[in-house]
Structure 1
Amino acid sequence: MNIQSCVEVCNEWDIVSARQLGRNMAKELGFGNVDQARITTAISELARNIYLYAGNGKICIEAAEKMGKRGLKIIATDNGPGIKDIRKVMEDGYTTSGGLGAGLPGVKRLMDEFMIDSVVGSGTEIIATKWLR
């Protein structure tokens, strides 16, 4: 099963749409309520970052499979300004928006796999995967 659905993120309502899509796909794949909430929170954070820092981008969600495991992969991409210092944004408590600074480190903790690729001046791609237990 390799279905992928994407939500363009341009405004706050798109964040809600991305969250809903993620929750529905997680439920379809058999994730329990706690993992559904983790996935939804991660999507919310990634979509919010796109909206706040890049202006627009997209969240794609797809079923994932690896070595007999099934899961859900979230791919957040934008063509925004990029992240100058990835190590800095991955520190707990670091914030540029005045928020709690749980952001990307929080997403990494909520998910099982986390990869970030960013080029200053051309954008960011973050891939986060949660595996079924």
Structure 2
Amino acid sequence: MKYLFILNDPPYGTERSYNGLRLARELLKDPKAGNEVHVFLLGDAAACAKSGQKVPQGYYHLESFLKMIARAGGEIGVCGTCMDARGINDTELVDGALRGNLAELSAWTVWADKVLVF
């Protein structure tokens, strides 16, 4: 199956983005299942892809979740307009995340068998 995850919430303060990334990662764990995953970070979720985040010990670290998804073959797009509005430039994105746009999100939506919004 082909899954598109659209995340809207900030990386911390709520657990919506965290839970969306947990599910995306879980779908990629078994390569035999043949799942494909794309994640698009929109609005405040663009901050999830900022590298070098420092979080309290024992707290979840979204940078590591995004890196795991990318290493497992998942694609990660980050809304460029949302990045600009939050002062995030391309060089600050975690490895595997790329600046995207609504045309890309539209194409990914058509590509997907299932779209999950968090």
Shorter-chain TM-score tier: 0.3 to 0.5
Query: Which of structures 1 and 2 has the larger relative contact order (alpha carbons within 8 angstroms, sep 6+)?
Result: 2
Per the normalisation by structure 2, the TM-score is 0.36
- Of Structure 1 and Structure 2, the greater helix share is in 2
Per the normalisation by structure 1, the TM-score is 0.33
- Of Structure 1 and Structure 2, the greater strand share is in 1
